[in-house]
């Protein structure tokens, strides 16, 4: 039997790079997980959900008629560098020994739990395909440090724009030295390829 382990997790909605250790490589995983992560995030203005992604129940709606693609691009520098971020309640963070997503599934709301803000680092944040972007949807290219919640970033951008926004897609394109175009897709895994 061969031991297999993964380094980190992806949101249920997410696709992309997930570093996996095989055999003795499971003990070396942490060594390979240093460095930044890069994501392409799809977002939509006008609604917010319980999970901060399109899989949750809508909790808020807001107008976005006052917004333009330029308005989105103009707020992005405010989210670059070290920023304070409140993680979503649907996360693996723990409160009193329980994972937050477990509490959320038990019916506890984000308003009932004080989730402390955390310092995270956004190294680069750009609007993807500005010329072809048609609101309410837009895409972001995000390079960030560990512990960053892209769902929270999208939420906070929505608030900064005097609206609300929800993440509708997420692809991790890089984790440290591992890039998506150099990874094996799940259907390509075999004893020879790993």
Active site residues: 11
Distances (CA, A) of 59 to 56, 64, 166, 168, 178: 9, 16, 11, 15, 36
Tokens describing residue 1: 């039997």
DSSP letter for 16, please. E
Opening angle at CA 115, ends 123 and 45, nearest 5: 60
Element containing residue 30 per DSSP (H, E): helix 29-32
In DSSP terms, which residues pair with 39 in a beta bridge? 142, 172
């Amino acid at each position: 039997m061969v031991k297999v382990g993964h380094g980190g997790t992806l949101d249920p909605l997410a696709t992309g790079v997930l570093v996996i250790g095989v055999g003795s490589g499971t003990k070396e995983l942490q060594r390979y997980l240093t460095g930044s992560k890069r994501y392409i995030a799809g977002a939509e203005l006008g609604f917010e959900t319980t999970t901060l992604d399109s899989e949750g129940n809508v909790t808020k709606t807001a107008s976005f008629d006052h917004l333009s693609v330029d308005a989105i691009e103009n707020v992005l520098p405010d989210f670059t560098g070290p920023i304070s971020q409140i993680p979503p309640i649907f996360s693996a963070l723990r409160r009193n020994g329980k994972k937050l997503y477990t509490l959320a599934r038990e019916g506890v709301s984000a308003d009932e739990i004080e989730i402390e803000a955390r310092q995270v680092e956004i190294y680069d944040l750009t609007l993807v395909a500005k010329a072809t972007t048609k609101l309410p949807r837009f895409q972001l290219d995000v390079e960030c440090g560990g512990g960053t919640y892209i769902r929270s970033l999208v939420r906070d951008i929505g608030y900064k724009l005097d609206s609300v926004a929800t993440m509708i897609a997420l692809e991790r394109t890089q984790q440290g030295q591992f890039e998506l175009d150099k990874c094996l897709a799940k259907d390509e895994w075999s004893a020879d390829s790993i």
